[in-house]
Amino acid sequence: MSKRRGRMSEKQMLSRLRRNRQWFGLCLMLLTVLALFACVWKYTVIIRGQADEHNLTKSRLTQVTHTKTVLARRGEIVDADGNAIAETGNTYTVYAIIKHQYEGDKRKVVKDKVKTAQTLAKYLQMSETKILERLTPSSARTTQVEFGGAGSGLNLATKQSIQKEKLPGIHFSTTPARLYPNGIFASHEIGRTVATTTKTGLTKITGTMGLEKSFNSLLSGHNGQEQYQTDSFQYKIDGTTKIIKKAQDGGTVYTTINSNLQNYLESLMTTAQEKYQPTTMTATIMNAKTGAILATSQRPTYEPTTGSGLTNMWRSLLVQDVYEPGSVMKIMTLASAINSGNYNPNQYYKSGEVTVDGAKLYDWNKAGWGMIPLSQAFTRSSNVGMVKLEQTMGAKTWLSYLHKFGFGTKTNLHLPGESAGRIAYSSTPDQASTAFGQAISVTVAQMLRAMSAVADGGRMVEPRIVAKTVSGSGKETKYGKQELAKVVSADTATQVRQAMVKVVTDPNGTGGSYAIKGMDVGVKTGTAQISGSHGYLRGSQNYLHSVAAMVPSKNPNYIVYLTMKQPKITDGKSANDVLATIFKPLIKRAIALESNATSSVGTTMNTVGDFEGKNQNEVKNELQKAGFKVAVVGTGNEVVQQLPTANQQAMAGSRVILMTNGAMTMPSVSGWGKSDVLKLAQITGVKFKLKGEGYASAQTLKAGSLITGDGVTVTFTSK
């Protein structure tokens, strides 16, 4: 019995073990299923973008989504006809990739370094040997190389010419740049910009001088933003770009400047400067009735694109520099005396010198002309005569007229850094000296404003160089004629202008150099001593010579004001003779342009189309039918660049320059004006040296020759 129970126990034990194994297998299977379910659940959660309380979708997007600043294009400064004086373009830097930077880099690398060097040497001012050295760096880790100054600042035509060569591994970066197509062109008034790189690598263009500075905010516009996604190799994924904020380009500043007059004036100024080397020189022509400055120039000046010459003079002589004007001030002295009832033309006085409160004041001719009537004081430019008028008026009355004429206060010319000038009036000799333009400091702009009262029937107008502005959003702000107080009566103004005519026509007058046959001209000349650290400078050359003219004197349309400091005149001419070489051709040109403007010839304005990428022969025919002259640069059949740029207004009969693909060749510039030659220099990126004045008559590089970086000299002569 006991054995049987033992065997039963053994069977039961085996059965129990079997059941245990079954339960264990079942539990193991259940745990496996649970673990699998947990894995599936976790994977599902991850797919849905959530793990450990982190949103993986957001993390993934943070890694591949980029925000980019979209730069606003800086607006233009244009002339009175809408032609660009300052505009924004691009310059380009060429670089070569000689080795991939990372695995998966899809950009092409340089394959044939010798061929690449030979080809680039055609377009860069760099030898084939030097280029090859750059393409073969000593460090094996170098993946990309540039070519220094020779490979940067390239214009669009050069970039496109290199691209046409289809050189593997040659790439370009783009940099926004400010361009001044006319070169030296009222440079201190138009101004200049600087380009800076921000911490994020953006190029920012900021106005630092002239209108570029005054209207910097309007010209700058507002940058935009866009988002896009990239793959693991940082390549942009198509279709993922999203505009967050649209960029608003800068607005436009419309000036009153007439480009034809301005370019001509710059030419006249350069000729006088090179020949007589004055330390400073200014010239301005203003519309007498509206105050619009039609042309203004100074020497020293500078080339705004390169900044060459800026270290010689960074100040605008139109509004920033003050000086003692000398005898031109006698226009205002005579007007004040007549208007206040203190002028007796038949009263005689002893010329030569006068003592005022112990101080002796002299005429420019110290010996004088004996006893002469006050009617000759203005004609002869007698300082003593003006002192007599100031004493008759009284210091208080004369000072009140100085203030009425605007001296001691700034004009509203919209140029930065303007000076207010100063009237020295603490002593009796100083009070008397202001009557002939000493002991008072003024700006050119102030003198123009004061003279406008005499030119325009007694009512003074504010000089202006800006006609209007249009913001990027289209808001227009006009800066029209601004009439100021009536300073003198119309009859007084007429009498002063008649006295100015006598300065030219009377045998005793000082302005005979400015007579123009058949033209009604009134002027007042000036010769002012120059103040130094120890009183006035001595010597025959230490004077500021000037002339103010009103044309036609009976009803002036123009005020012309010129100054010239310390010229070196060695050819026997007088200072007035030298200034007349600027005044006479300038006023003749102004009147000729006015005559043309009143006729139907050459006044039609047409829009220049967008011709880039089109056949040059078809474009040429289209432009000629529209009344334009056409010049073609290059041997190709496709237009790659144009001036004026697309959609600009240009006068019928003006010249459009087309740059084509292929070799860059020189056109014939015979008969061209300077403005057209400067456009050619801009579009080719080659430095042109301009000699003489008038119209192009000779060029050092023959028509059809390949244009290189050696520069071209063009000679101009008057027709």
235 DSSP assignment? P
Query: Residue 144 contacts by C-beta under 8 Å, 6 or more apart in sequence?
Result: 95, 96, 97, 98, 101
Unique residue bearing structure tokens 């042109």? 688
Task: Locate 352 and state its tokens.
Answer: 């030569």
**Catalytic site residue from 187, 214, 220, 327:** 327
SS3 letters across 92-160: EEEEEECCCCCCCCCCCCCCCHHHHHHHHCCCCCCCHHHHHHHHCCCCCCCCEEECHHHHCCECHHHHH
Which of 241, 217, 211, 215 minimizes the C-alpha distance to 229? 241
Q: Which residues of 410-439 are buried (b: 16+ CB within 10 A; e: fewer)?
A: bbbbbbbebbebebebeeebbbbbbbbbbb
Question: Under a CB-based contact definition with an 8 Å cutoff, are residues 283 and 265 in contact?
Answer: yes
Phi, psi dihedral angles at 691 (to 5 degrees): -120, 140
Q: Measuring CA to CA, how many Å separate 599 from each of 544, 680, 683?
A: 40, 29, 32
222 DSSP assignment? B
Specify the amino acid at residue 138: S
Question: Under a CB-based contact definition with an 8 Å cutoff, are residues 648 and 605 in contact?
Answer: no
Find the helix packing angle between 490-505 and 444-455, rounded to 10°. Answer: 110
Q: Which residues of 2-24 are buried (b: 16+ CB within 10 A; e: fewer)?
A: eeeeeeeeeeeeeeeeeeeeeee
Phi, psi dihedral angles at 304 (to 5 degrees): -70, -30
For residue 15, indicate whether it is catalytic: no
Question: Under a CB-based contact definition with an 8 Å cutoff, are residues 713 and 699 in contact?
Answer: yes
Residues in the chain: 719
* Residues annotated catalytic, as ranges: 327
